[in-house]
Amino acid sequence: MKKSDLIGGGIFIALGVFIILLTLGFPTLEKGHPGPALFPRILAVLFIAFGGVIFFRGGKGEKKGLEAETREEVLVPKNYFNPIFVLILMVAYIILSNWLGFYITSTLILFLLMIKLRVSYRRGLAVSILLTIFVNLMFAKLLRVPLPIGFLGW
Amino acid sequence: MEFLLQGLSLLMAPKVLLIICISSIYGLFVGAMPGLTATMAAALLIPFTFFMDPVPALVSIVTMSAMAIFAGDIPAALVRIPGTPSSAAYTQDSFELTKQGKAEMVLGVDVICSAIGGLMGAVVLMTSAPLLAEVAMQFSSFEYFWLAALGLSATVMVSRGSQVKGALAMVLGLFLSTIGVDITLGLPRFTFGSVELLNGVDFIPAMIGVFGISEVLRNVLEGEMSYPITRVRAGKIFSGMGGLLRRYKVNILRSGLLGTFIGILPGAGADIAAWLAYAVSKRSSKEPEKYGAGSIEAIVDSGTANNSCLAGDWVPALVFGIPGDSITAIVIGVLFMKGLRPGPMIFERQPEIVYAVYLAFILANLLMIPFGYLAIKASSQMLRVPKNILMPAILMFCIVGSYAINNSIFDIGTMLLMGVVGYFMEANGYPVAPIVLGLVLGPILEQNFMISMIKSEWDLTLFFIRPISAILGGLTIIVWFFPVLAAFLEKAKKRNSL
């Protein structure tokens, strides 16, 4: 039994059922021909069919296929918290950038991530500041993107 | 001739030349960094192309991708890790030869064969695209529907690993393309009251999420990699090259054409071209026992094929608006962003842009030799750039890049969500490129299907009555049933051998 396939297949089946439920209220075209609901419903059926295959295979414990990316595995210990930390930082950017402004939020996020990835404090701070200035130069000055300013006007 | 000169003058503008140089360096760096792909590089480039004119925008992607696919060979030879998946096929051979003290020869072959392959692809692109465009002029919504369906089906068929998982990834991309206002009645679908979703899932943040954020997540999970790097005497990489090229001229010609053909097939990219060229090379070689143990012939073949494939990928993208691989899926997004509709009309209305793309392929592949030489010379420094600094930098470029298009925090959320989805899918053996192809081709597929149905008053037979439509439809259905057919033939073969 392969747990990830059972879960993956289950999610896709559930998504298919959810789409069908959502399309039940969609109007039809003239003479009752299917309109906006047609394409999503076809996709929902495909989600259920293919998801079912994956779910069924997971239950039967089919051997693992080739990985999507052919990449040499390097034996290094994995840090499972690191990806979660990256996501937390991105959410923090979404919440804080309009309040703190780009300079502070970017420096803070870069610095925290570098420290988490074991860069020294001094080097991490210096690189974070320089990178923030570089990104600001590229986007705000060169491409004229109005980056968040924040309450300090930075 | 007139358009050729117009294209040349567009390409030779100082600003465009500067963009070519910067894109080259960027492509070489990303390609040479293990764990970063050419597709990710293209996704991160889009926010910049948003602010450029069409020619520099397209030329920057052409140059960057050509350089990145070549540069993927550098870490393959020096540290036994392919820089991009396109170099994976011959990584073992490259590294075995490096261990035998032939790193210079391997890298010399890599750069020269990549350039020759790229030039061959460019010639095929220049000759075949206008001819195909004339045929495509007669296409109606029926043919475009089948073309999109064929492109999507081929993508699933060639996706590595489980084809069912490839199909699910494609269906997910198609579903994402249905979010927003529907084309038949203008009904908002799956927007859940969000104003931002009325225009649909924005292609750019989705792309940056799937290819950029998921790479960052995977890399920070793996931690810092350290590897001994072989030093290269760059001055020696071209010695003995003349004799080698003469000996393998048939291989180069064969793999250049094979790679371009694979590129023209919708959905199949440079990595598949390299694997196929490797298999063909081994089968026709006089020394098949050397494959995997250090065969320069394998490197000649696969190294030529993956770069020639890049130009081939542009043929269906420009002529039909159907991407040849994930990079050209991004290109199609860029074309739409610039108000250009890919398809046969682009050859009529903006021929100077098409010619500029042709010439960019030639220029990029000629520049590959000096730039490639410099990249090889700087290889040991490039490979020492610490990932724990590079990944935070990429993260910030992803965040600001996806924000820059609409100045919208919502787009950062889209990128975040797509990054998580892409990461989990890839970690569980689902290829992510079909998501993007589904997202790009979804509107083409649905619009052409609905237009065809409404104008034929829901007569499905019309999809099979028009001759070209019938051929394309037949091909698509063959692709659908190919896995079943292959399994059946395999069983029959086993039964016969018993």
Condensed to tens digits (0 to 9), the pLDDT of residues B351-360 reads 999 999 999 9
Query: Are B267 and B325 in contact, with CB atoms under 8 Å apart?
Result: yes
For B48, nearest residue in chain A (alpha carbons): A143
**Which among A33, A51, A114 has the least Cβ separation from residue B168?**
A51
A26 lies in some domain:
yes
| Cα distance between residue B130 and residue B138, in whole Å | 14
Tens digits of residue pLDDT in B403-446: 998 899 999 999 999 999 999 999 999 988 889 889 988 998 99
pLDDT for the residue A84: 95
CA dihedral A147, A149, A150, A151 (to 10 degrees): -170
pLDDT for the residue B225: 63
Tens digits of residue pLDDT in B467-479: 889 999 999 998 8
A108 in helix, strand or coil? helix
| Cα distance between residue B11 and residue A149, in whole Å | 37
User: Do A85 and A137 share a domain, yes or no?
Assistant: yes
**Which among B161, B175, B190 has the least Cβ separation from residue A67?**
B161
Is B400 in contact with A147 (Cβ distance < 8 A)?
yes
Is B413 in contact with A147 (Cβ distance < 8 A)?
no
pLDDT (average), residues B136-149: 91
Cβ count near B192 (within 10 Å):
8
How far apart are the CA of A82 and the nearest CA of chain B, in angstroms?
A: 6
A119 lies in some domain:
yes
Alpha helices in B72-162 (DSSP H): 73-79, 91-99, 103-136, 141-158
pLDDT for the residue B491: 83
pLDDT for the residue A31: 79
pLDDT for the residue A67: 44
pLDDT for the residue B61: 95
Q: Is B404 on the interface with A (CB under 8 A)?
A: yes
B459 in helix, strand or coil? coil
Q: Which long-range contacts (CB under 8 A, 24 or more apart) does B236-245 make?
A: B236/B104, B236/B108, B237/B104, B237/B105, B237/B107, B237/B108, B237/B111, B237/B373, B237/B376, B238/B108, B238/B112, B239/B104, B239/B108, B240/B105, B241/B108, B241/B109, B241/B112, B244/B105, B244/B109, B244/B296, B244/B300, B245/B112, B245/B116
pLDDT (average), residues B262-291: 90
- Give the ipTM: 0.88
Tens digits of residue pLDDT in B22-74: 999 999 999 998 878 888 899 999 999 988 999 999 999 999 999 999 999 99
Range of the domain at B128: 2-497
Cβ neighbours of B60 in A, within 8 Å: none
B180 in helix, strand or coil? strand
| Cα distance between residue B14 and residue B4, in whole Å | 18
Is B184 in contact with A35 (Cβ distance < 8 A)?
yes
Cβ neighbours of B406 in A, within 8 Å: none
Q: How is residue B84 annotated by DSSP?
A: S
A110 lies in some domain:
yes
Tens digits of residue pLDDT in B236-263: 888 889 999 999 999 999 999 999 999 9
B360 in helix, strand or coil? helix
Residue B264 has pLDDT above 80, yes or no: yes
CA dihedral B212, B203, A91, A84 (to 10 degrees): -40
Which tops the pLDDT comparison, B324 or B158?
B324
How far apart are the CA of B410 and the nearest CA of chain A, in angstroms?
A: 8
How far apart are the CA of A140 and the nearest CA of chain B, in angstroms?
A: 9
pLDDT (average), residues A16-34: 90
**pLDDT, mean over chain B:** 90
pLDDT for the residue B111: 95
Is A147 in contact with B403 (Cβ distance < 8 A)?
yes
| Cα distance between residue B145 and residue B461, in whole Å | 14
For B453, nearest residue in chain A (alpha carbons): A33
A120 lies in some domain:
yes
Pairing of strands B180-181, B188-189: antiparallel
Please tell me the total count of domains within chain A. Answer: 2
Whole-model pTM: value is: 0.87
Is A91 in contact with B48 (Cβ distance < 8 A)?
no
Is B175 in contact with A43 (Cβ distance < 8 A)?
yes
pLDDT for the residue B358: 94
| Cα distance between residue B360 and residue B60, in whole Å | 9
**Which among B161, B175, B184 has the least Cβ separation from residue A66?**
B161
Indicate the pLDDT class of residue B155, thresholds 50, 70 and 90.
Answer: confident
Q: How is residue B145 written in tokens?
A: 């529907």
For A129, nearest residue in chain B (alpha carbons): B393
User: Which of B49, B403, B445, B448 to substitute to test the interface with A, most A CBs within 10 Å?
Assistant: B403
For B82, nearest residue in chain A (alpha carbons): A71
Query: Are A148 and A134 in contact, with CB atoms under 8 Å apart?
Result: no
Residue reference for tokens 């998801």: A51
pLDDT for the residue B397: 93
User: Which of A3, A30, A70, A137 to substitute to test the interface with B, most B CBs within 10 Å?
Assistant: A70
Q: Is A56 on the interface with B (CB under 8 A)?
A: no
Q: Is A55 on the interface with B (CB under 8 A)?
A: no
Please name the residues in contact with A30: beta carbons below 8 A apart, sequence gap of 6 or more. none
pLDDT for the residue B336: 86
Residue B88 has pLDDT above 80, yes or no: yes
Cβ neighbours of B409 in A, within 8 Å: 94, 97-98
Q: Is B381 on the interface with A (CB under 8 A)?
A: no
pLDDT for the residue A76: 58
Tens digits of residue pLDDT in A54-81: 999 887 765 544 444 444 444 556 788 9
A65 lies in some domain:
no
Residues 145-164 of chain B with CB under 8 A from chain A are: 159-162, 164
Is A72 in contact with B80 (Cβ distance < 8 A)?
yes
User: Do A87 and A41 share a domain, yes or no?
Assistant: no
| Cα distance between residue B59 and residue B359, in whole Å | 9
Q: Is A30 on the interface with B (CB under 8 A)?
A: no
Q: How is residue B138 annotated by DSSP?
A: T
For B89, nearest residue in chain A (alpha carbons): A70
pLDDT for the residue A77: 64
Amino acid B441 reads: L
A74 lies in some domain:
no
Expressed in percent and rounded to 5, the helix, strand and coil fractions of chain B are: 80, 0, 20
Q: How is residue A28 annotated by DSSP?
A: P
pLDDT for the residue B437: 86
Query: Are B60 and B20 in contact, with CB atoms under 8 Å apart?
Result: yes
pLDDT for the residue B224: 66
User: Do A53 and A18 share a domain, yes or no?
Assistant: yes
For A143, nearest residue in chain B (alpha carbons): B51
User: Which of B91, B164, B398 to substitute to test the interface with A, most A CBs within 10 Å?
Assistant: B164
**pLDDT, mean over chain A:** 87
Range of the domain at A125: 81-142
A43 lies in some domain:
yes
Q: Is A48 on the interface with B (CB under 8 A)?
A: no
Query: Are B117 and B73 in contact, with CB atoms under 8 Å apart?
Result: no
A27 lies in some domain:
yes
| Cα distance between residue B68 and residue A31, in whole Å | 54
CA dihedral A48, A52, A55, A57 (to 10 degrees): -150
A6 in helix, strand or coil? helix
Please tell me the total count of domains within chain B. Answer: 1
Is B184 in contact with A147 (Cβ distance < 8 A)?
no
Residue B234 has pLDDT above 90, yes or no: no
What does B368-429 look like in DSSP terms, one character per residue?
HHHHHHHHHHTHHHHTTS-HHHHHHHHHHHHHHHHHHHHT-HHHHHHHHHHHHHHHHHHHTT
